[in-house]
Chain A
Amino acid sequence: MLYIKCPHCGMRPQTEFSYGGDATVKRPELNKEISDHEWDDFVYNRKSLRGKHLELWQHISGCRQWIKVERDTATHEIFKTFKADEEVA
Chain B
Amino acid sequence: MSQKFRIENVGLINRDKKLSFKFNGKTYYGYEGDTLASALIANGVHLVGRSFKYHRPRGFFGAGVDEPYAIVQLYRNGETEPNIKATEQELFEGLEAKSVNCWPSVNFDIGAINNFLKIFLPAGFYYKTFMWPKSFWYWIYEPFIRKAAGLGVASIKHDKERYEHKYEYCDLLIAGSGPSGLASAYAAANNGAKIILAEDKPRFGGSLLTSDVNIGNQSGKDWADGIIAELKTMPNVVVKNRSQIFGYYDHNMLVMSENVSDHLPKTKKYHPNKRLWYIRAKQVLISSGSIERPIVFGNNDTPGVMLSSAAKEYLKVYGVLVGRNPLVFTNNDSGYETAIEFKKHGVDPIVLDSRKNPESEIISEAKNLGISIKNSYVVVAAQGYKKVKSADIASISDDKKQLGKMENVKCDCICVSGFWTPTIHLASQSGNKTKFKEEIDAFVPGQSKQSEITLGAANGVFSLEETLKTSFAAGSELSKKNN
Residues of A within 8 A of B (CB): 1-3, 13, 76, 78
Majority secondary structure, B binding face: strand
Q: Supply 7 A–B pairs (Cβ within 8 Å), ascending by A.
A: A1-B250, A2-B251, A3-B251, A3-B252, A3-B280, A13-B253, A76-B250
> With a CB–CB cut-off of 8 A, which chain A residues contact B249?
1
- Chain B: residues with CB nearer than 8 A to chain A? 167, 249-253, 278, 280
Q: For A13, what are the chain B residues with a Cβ–Cβ distance below 8 Å?
A: 167, 253, 278, 280
Is A2's CB under 8 angstroms from B250's CB? Answer: yes
Closest to A3 in B: B251
Q: Given the complex of chains A and B, what is the CA–CA distance between A78 and B251 in angstroms?
A: 9
Give the residues in chain A near B250, CB-CB below 8 Å: 1-3, 76
Complex alpha-carbon distance, A83 and B280, angstroms: 24
| Distance of B243 from chain A, by nearest CB (Å) | 19
Docked pose: A1 CA to B249 CA in angstroms: 6
Residues of chain A lying within 8 A (CB to CB) of residue B167: 13
In the complex, chain B residues whose CB is within 8 Å of the CB of A1: 249-251, 253, 278
B residues near A76, Cβ cutoff 8 Å: 250-251
Most chain B beta-carbon contacts within 10 A, residue among A1, A2, A3, A78: A1
A57 vs B252: C-alpha distance in the bound complex, in angstroms?
A: 21
* Closest Cβ–Cβ distance, residue B211 to chain A (whole Å): 38
Q: Can you name 14 extra interface pairs (CB under 8 A) apart from A1-B250, A1-B278, A13-B253?
A: A1-B249, A1-B251, A1-B253, A2-B250, A2-B251, A3-B250, A3-B251, A3-B252, A3-B280, A13-B167, A13-B278, A13-B280, A76-B250, A78-B251
The winner among B167, B249, B250, B252 for most chain A CB atoms within 10 A is B250
How long is the Cα–Cα vector from A3 to B253 in the complex, in angstroms? Answer: 8
Docked complex Cα distance between A1 and B254 (Å): 9
Complex-state Cα separation, A76 to B253, whole angstroms: 13
Bound complex: CA of A79 vs CA of B442, how far in Å?
A: 36
Q: How far is the CB of A5 from chain B (nearest CB, A)?
A: 11
CA distance A1 to B280 in the complex (A): 9
Residues of A within 8 Å of B252, CB to CB, are 3
Chain A residue at smallest Cβ distance from B249? A1
